[in-house]
Homo-oligomer: A and B are copies of this chain.
Amino acid sequence: MVDPTPGGSRPPREPSHLEVIALEGIPEIQTDDDLAQIVVDALRATPGALPAHGDDVLVVTQKVVSKAEGAIADLTAIEPRPEAVAFAERWDRDARQVELVLRHAKRVVRMDNGVVITETTHGFVCANGGIDASNVGPDRGTIVTLLPDDPDASAGRIRVAVREATGVDVPVIVSDSFGRPWRYGIVDVAIGVSGLQPLEDLRGTPDRDGRVMKSTVRGVADELASAAELTLGKRSGRPVALVRGARFIRAEGSIRDVLMPESMDLFR
């Protein structure tokens, strides 16, 4: 049975109850593992996850996507440029990792205080280009994960596998932990989507009192990623969660919809 697409072009209903279920039984992921099949198996192994509902969203953390896709690098093979060496020496960083960040950058936004903030080739502005050494696997001291090449496509492959296995078209988000200017702490945001609009644009619609809202665009995919993180954490070995009951709009969205164009960017 293929699920109908609630929402669609109709205004989505206002849900009042949300559930987030961390999927169980996902093993340590290795390069070339069939992550989509592993997610399907985990959906089947997790009590309450199936049957999928029309308002479910799967959130898959970047780390397992990158590992399965082989989006990793071994620092021992990296020759840092002098700029990376100087920055690393000054701030007690690994020059090879700084070099990797620069190689995967479209531009450097800030490079100061031990922090390298770049715009990645995808258009994300984040610290260290999303390159990360935590939870890459045991005994892999010089291995780091890179961001997936095309996180929308990564999400799409998992979505197709789930649809083929369960008959239900569940939107998929690939998430990663990003810092923010002015606020301490990292929060999970979406870096890839398939099957949902990452934003819900309420501009021009009336608020509860009939007043037209001028600037309300909900960052719903990012909020879904953050909600999922609350059940996944950083140490649990749970890299995938199902979010059930959220309000979002089904569509063939892209994470590119979230990227602020240069003309509107006040913080270049």
Tell me the A residues contacting B by CB distance below 8 Å: 14-22, 24, 110, 112-113, 115, 117, 119, 124-125, 127, 133-141, 177, 180-189, 198-199, 202, 205-211, 213, 215-220, 222-224, 226-227, 229-231, 233-238, 243, 245-247, 257-260, 264-267
CB distance from A29 to the nearest CB of B (A): 12
Query: What are 8 A-B residue pairs whose CB atoms fall within 8 Å in the complex?
Result: A16-B236, A19-B19, A124-B182, A135-B209, A138-B210, A180-B180, A182-B259, A231-B245
Nearest first, the 4 A-B pairs at minimum CB distance are A185-B219, A227-B227, A18-B20, A125-B182
Asked if residues A226 and B187 are in contact (CB atoms below 8 Å), the reply is yes
In the complex, the chain B residue whose C-beta lies closest to that of A138 is B209
A236–B11 CA distance with the chains assembled, in angstroms? 12
B residues in contact with A227, CB < 8 Å = 18, 20, 223, 226-227, 230
CB distance from A221 to the nearest CB of B (A): 8
Beyond A211-B133, A235-B208, whether A266 also contacts B115 by CB under 8 A is yes
B residues in contact with A218, CB < 8 Å = 185-187, 229, 233-234
Beyond A17-B20, A227-B226, A235-B202, whether A260 also contacts B181 by CB under 8 A is yes
Q: Which of B139, B186, B216 contacts A217 (CB 8 A)?
A: B186
Asked if residues A222 and B185 are in contact (CB atoms below 8 Å), the reply is yes
In the complex, the chain B residue whose C-beta lies closest to that of A188 is B223
A247–B236 CA distance with the chains assembled, in angstroms? 11
Q: Which of B124, B125, B205, B234 contacts A235 (CB 8 A)?
A: B205
A101–B112 CA distance with the chains assembled, in angstroms? 31
A119–B182 CA distance with the chains assembled, in angstroms? 9
Asked if residues A266 and B113 are in contact (CB atoms below 8 Å), the reply is yes
CB distance from A24 to the nearest CB of B (A): 7
A114–B235 CA distance with the chains assembled, in angstroms? 43
Asked if residues A229 and B223 are in contact (CB atoms below 8 Å), the reply is yes
B residues in contact with A135, CB < 8 Å = 207-209, 211
Beyond A217-B186, A234-B213, whether A19 also contacts B17 by CB under 8 A is yes
B residues in contact with A260, CB < 8 Å = 181-184
Beyond A113-B266, A209-B140, A235-B207, whether A219 also contacts B21 by CB under 8 A is no
CB distance from A223 to the nearest CB of B (A): 4
B residues in contact with A213, CB < 8 Å = 134, 234
B residues in contact with A234, CB < 8 Å = 202, 207, 213, 216, 218
A21–B20 CA distance with the chains assembled, in angstroms? 12
Q: Which of B141, B210, B230, B265 contacts A182 (CB 8 A)?
A: B265
